[in-house]
Structure 1
Amino acid sequence: MAKPQRSIWWAVGIALVGWIVLAYPIVLLGLLSLVVMTGSVDGTVTAPGIALGVMGMLGALAMLAFPLLLGLAIKARRRALWLPALLTGALTVAACIYLTVEWLIPLG
C-alpha cells in the first residue's frame, strides 16, 4: 500500500528555506563563473577557464534545483524523485565546498 502524500506546504517550505540559505552562494558562484569565463579586460580566455566557468554555472543551477527537488521528494514519498534530489544535493555540496575552499578561504 502506498503511503499518503504530505501536504504541498512541505515542498513549498523546504524550497523557500533552501533558496534563502543558498541565495548568497548561488549568486556568488554565478558571478565568479562569469568572471572566470570572460577573463579580465586585457587578458585572454583559455579553455580551462571556460570549462571552470561552465562547471560553476552547473553548480549554481544544481543549487537552484536542489531545494525544489528535495521538497518534491519529501512531499510525494516516491523513490523516483529521490535520485535527482540526491544528485543535485551532491553537486550542491561539492559546489559549496569549492566556493568556500577556493574563493572564500584561499588555502594557497
Structure 2
Amino acid sequence: MSRRQHFVPSQRLPVSVTSVAAGTKPRRSVLWIVGIVLVGWLVLAYPAVLLALLSVLLMAGTASSPATAGSVAAGVFGMAAVLCMVAAPPLTGLAVSWRRRGLWVGAVVTWVFTIVAVVYLLVNWILPLA
C-alpha cells in the first residue's frame, strides 16, 4: 500500500515563504516600451552612426596605411558597440514593461557597453576635433 501524497513545506524556509506568494505586479502598457525605445534611439542615433562609420574606416584602412590587427580589433569592438546601442533601448523597454530580472541584466550590460563606447567617441574623436 502506498501512502497518499501530501504537501510538506520545506524545513529550511519559514512557513510564510513557502506559502503561495501574493499576486505579481501587472505588466505595464506597450506605450512604455515604444516611448523608451524611441527616446533611446533618438539619443543614440548620432553616436551609433558615427561609430559605425569610424569602425568601417578602421577595419578597411587606407591606401597609404593598410589595416592592422589592432585597427581591425578596434573596428570589431566598434561594431559590437553599435549593436549594443541598437539593442539597449528595446531591452530597457521590455524590462520596464515585463519586470523580469533577466531582462534587467541584459539591459544593464548593454547600457554599460554603450556608455563605454560613447565615452570613447567623446574623448578620442569629438573633443579633440572641437
Give the drift of 1:39: 0.6
TM-score w.r.t. length of structure 2: 0.79
Aligned match of 2:14: none
| Corresponding residue number in structure 1 for 2:47 | 25
Give, as a single letter, the amino acid of the residue that structure 1 aligns with 2:66: T
Q: How does 1:26-41 map to 2 (within 5 A)?
A: 26-41=48-63
1:54 matched to which residue of 2? Answer: 76
After the TM superposition, which parts of structure 1 deviate over 6 Å for at least 4 consecutive aligned residues? none
What CA deviation, in whole Å up to 9, does each residue of 1:19-46 have, x standing for no partner? 0111000000000000011011232110
Tell me, which stretches of 5 or more residues in structure 1 are unaligned? none
Distance 1:44 1:12 in 2: 43
2:126 maps to what in 1?
A: 104
How far apart in 2 are the matches of 1:87 and 1:59? 11
The structure, 1 or 2, with the larger RCO (C-alpha pairs under 8 Å, 6+ apart) is 1
More helix by percentage: 1
Q: Distance in 1 between matches of 2:57 and 2:119?
A: 19
In structure 2, what is the Cα distance between the partners aligned to 1:60 and 1:53? 10
Cα RMSD (Å) of the superposition? 1.2
- Give the secondary-structure state (helix, strand or coil) at the position aligned to 2:66: coil
- Correspondence list, 1:71-90, <5 A: 71-90=93-112
Length, aligned pairs only: 107
Task: Find the partner of 1:65 among 65, 72, 87.
Answer: 87
Structure 2: 5+ residue runs without aligned partners?
1-22
Identity over aligned pairs, percent: 51
Deviation digits for residues 81-101 of structure 1 (CA, Å, limit 9, x no counterpart): 101000000001000000100
Rg larger for: 2
